[in-house]
Amino acid sequence: NAGVTQTPKFQVLKTGQSMTLQCAQDMNHNSMYWYRQDPGMGLRLIYYSASEGTTDKGEVPNGYNVSRLNKREFSLRLESAAPSQTSVYFCASSEGISSYNEQFFGPGTRLTVL
């Protein structure tokens, strides 16, 4: 099992460009998440999907959209990238959103917006 995979690993964008970060999991998990990690800020939740067909905003959703394409895949889209979106983006998945479900993280996408 690959666990959680993310593409691309690295990306450089110019301000105003758009892109989609892809995430897939092969653990048959119901819930999926997108976080960003900035120096000194820890991980912050952007959006999550508790189950296929649902998505909800997290702590920092502005400037992002998500799509839960199917049970396996959860994508994050930046419609008009801004330098403030330079960050490392992690996708995660868990069996569900209940208290004891461990979240498994993908390897991350390092995004730079110039």
Partner 1 sequence: RKEVEQDPGPFNVPEGATVAFNCTYSNSASQSFFWYRQDCRKEPKLLMSVYSSGNEDGRFTAQLNRASQYISLLIRDSKLSDSATYLCAVLGSARQLTFGSGTQLTVLP
List residues near partner 1 by CB under 8 A: 33, 35, 40-45, 48, 50, 58-59, 90, 97-100, 102-108
Measured in degrees and rounded to the nearest 5, phi and psi for residue 17 equal: -75, 160
**Residue number with CB closer to partner 1 (64 or 90):** 90
**Residue number with CB closer to partner 1 (17 or 110):** 110
**Residue number with CB closer to partner 1 (27 or 104):** 104
Least distance from C-beta 49 to partner 1, angstroms?
A: 12
Q: How far is CA 39 from CA 43, 49, 50, in A?
A: 9, 25, 27
